[in-house]
């Protein structure tokens, strides 16, 4: 519930079998008598959030729409992305020029592109089903030179995110993530690590760990996941892809890891933030937030993390963090930036943008498709 300047506004959504079936909006001048408005607008049966800004009510729909209204009766909306294809795809990346969001269907990964976070177009299709639901897998990532997508037994690479080439790895292992230092490529997954100098001849390293992420930075590869025996979280490092060392284990749950010149930062459930200067010794940074964090990125040698309840955190050194103002309180999954703006992808397919002036707050973008 919130006060729009003249009345109280409340909203709610009914769910059946995990899907939204009906939504209503209530308004009241005195908090006692309420007027009911139909919130099932433009094909949306659910509302994730509702705000009042610049004389407009803005609702974020469960089916990929942002709807606007001046009176809670007549609504206009843009279908950001079609149907529910984005439901299991909380990722957004940038190659420095464009933004990319991958989405899953039953047989493929669709990739949408935007230069400003407002206008999106489908750019390509990778015709495979990512392992499992795709959770923990690299649907798409950019390593500084090329795009990489990971599936069971295969990598797909692309120079432009349009034309894709399959790189085969003869394995039935579940592959989850890949990283490269320019000459050496490392792929991690369940009980396995593969590495190659030419993306053709692959060598396997046996492992008892269930890895879901790997990155390269500051001269080493860092992989995160779970131990196969106790199921506790583990961070492992390697210089050459062949020899790996478990440097820390514990009951923490990691969601994302990043590196810049200051060191490595990992974030996770219940406000977990960990920092390491060299990737070997890790310190827990406590007292920053209790909200779960789902992504941490490096922008111009600064860290930015996003998570539950609209949480946006910034840090210069990975140890001291400050909160940024968020216009909405939904779960934020991922963040990316190019030379024009920053874009955050959140629950209900919401998109937030921030211009070049980082002193300005993030705002909800009314996105559309070409």
What are the tens digits of pLDDT across the range 98-147? 888 877 665 667 788 888 877 778 777 765 544 433 444 566 788 888 88
Where do the DSSP E strands lie in 181-219?
185-196, 203-217
Band the pLDDT of 350: cuts 50, 70, 90.
confident
Percent of the chain with pLDDT over 70: 78
* 236 strand-pairing partners: 223, 246
How high is the pLDDT of residue 83? 43
* 165 strand-pairing partners: 157
Tell me which DSSP letter residue 292 carries.
Answer: -
CB atoms within 10 A of CB 327: 15
In whole angstroms, give the CA distance from residue 159 to residue 165: 9
Question: Which residues, at least 6 apart from 13, have a Cβ–Cβ distance to it below 8 Å?
Answer: 20, 22, 23, 39, 45, 46, 47, 48, 62
CB atoms within 10 A of CB 278: 13
How high is the pLDDT of residue 84? 43
In whole angstroms, give the CA distance from residue 271 to residue 170: 39
Question: Which residues, at least 6 apart from 294, have a Cβ–Cβ distance to it below 8 Å?
Answer: 90, 255, 256, 267, 306, 307, 308, 331, 332, 333, 334
How high is the pLDDT of residue 267? 96
172-189 tens-digit pLDDT = 677 888 898 888 999 998
pTM score of the predicted model: 0.77
How high is the pLDDT of residue 216? 95
How high is the pLDDT of residue 145? 83
Band the pLDDT of 277: cuts 50, 70, 90.
very high
Of 110-119, 182-191, 222-231, 281-290, the one with minimum mean pLDDT is: 110-119
Cβ atoms of 59 and 46 closer than 8 Å: no
Among 97, 99, 187, smallest CA distance to 137 is for 187
CB atoms within 10 A of CB 83: 12
28-76 tens-digit pLDDT = 898 888 888 876 655 555 676 777 776 778 776 655 566 778 888 877 6
User: Would you give the end-to-end CA distance of the chain in angstroms?
Assistant: 35
Rounded to an integer, the average pLDDT of 244-266 is 93
How high is the pLDDT of residue 311? 95
Rounded to an integer, the average pLDDT of 319-346 is 88
Helix (H, G, I), strand (E, B) or coil at 177: strand
Residue position matching structure tokens 């950019």: 142
Percent of the chain with pLDDT over 90: 31
């Amino acid at each position: 519930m919130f006060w729009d300047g003249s009345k109280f506004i409340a909203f709610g959504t009914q769910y059946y079998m995990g899907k939204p079936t009906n939504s209503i909006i209530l308004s009241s001048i005195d908090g006692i008598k309420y007027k009911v408005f139909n919130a099932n607008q433009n094909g949306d049966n659910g509302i994730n959030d509702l705000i009042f800004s610049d004389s407009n009510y803005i609702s974020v729909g469960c089916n990929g729409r942002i709807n606007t209204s001046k009176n809670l009766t007549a609504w206009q909306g843009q279908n950001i992305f079609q149907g529910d294809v984005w439901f299991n795809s909380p990722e957004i990346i940038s190659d420095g020029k464009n933004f990319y969001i991958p989405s899953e269907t039953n047989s493929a990964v669709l990739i949408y592109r935007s230069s400003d976070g407002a206008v999106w177009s489908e750019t390509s299709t990778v015709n495979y089903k990512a392992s499992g639901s795709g959770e923990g897998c690299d649907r798409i990532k950019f390593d500084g030179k090329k795009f990489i997508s990971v599936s069971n037994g295969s990598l797909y690479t692309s120079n432009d995110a349009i034309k894709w080439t399959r790189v085969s790895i003869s394995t039935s292992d579940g592959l989850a993530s890949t990283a490269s230092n320019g000459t050496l490529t490392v792929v991690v997954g369940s009980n396995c690590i593969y590495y190659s100098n030419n993306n053709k001849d692959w060598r396997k390293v046996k492992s008892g760990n269930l890895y879901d992420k790997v990155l390269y930075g500051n001269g080493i590869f860092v992989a995160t996941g779970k131990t196969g025996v106790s199921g506790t979280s583990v961070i492992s490092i390697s210089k050459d892809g062949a020899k790996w060392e478990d440097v820390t284990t514990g009951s923490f749950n990691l969601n994302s890891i990043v590196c810049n010149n200051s060191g490595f930062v990992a974030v996770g459930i219940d406000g977990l933030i960990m920092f390491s200067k060299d990737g070997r010794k890790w310190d827990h940074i406590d007292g920053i937030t209790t909200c779960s964090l789902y992504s941490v990125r490096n922008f111009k040698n600064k860290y930015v993390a996003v998570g539950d309840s609209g949480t946006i955190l910034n840090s210069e050194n990975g140890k001291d963090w400050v909160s940024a103002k968020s216009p909405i309180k939904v779960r934020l999954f991922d963040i990316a930036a190019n030379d024009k703006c920053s874009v955050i992808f959140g629950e209900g397919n919401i998109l937030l943008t921030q211009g070049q002036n980082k002193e300005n707050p993030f705002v909800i973008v009314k996105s559309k498709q070409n």
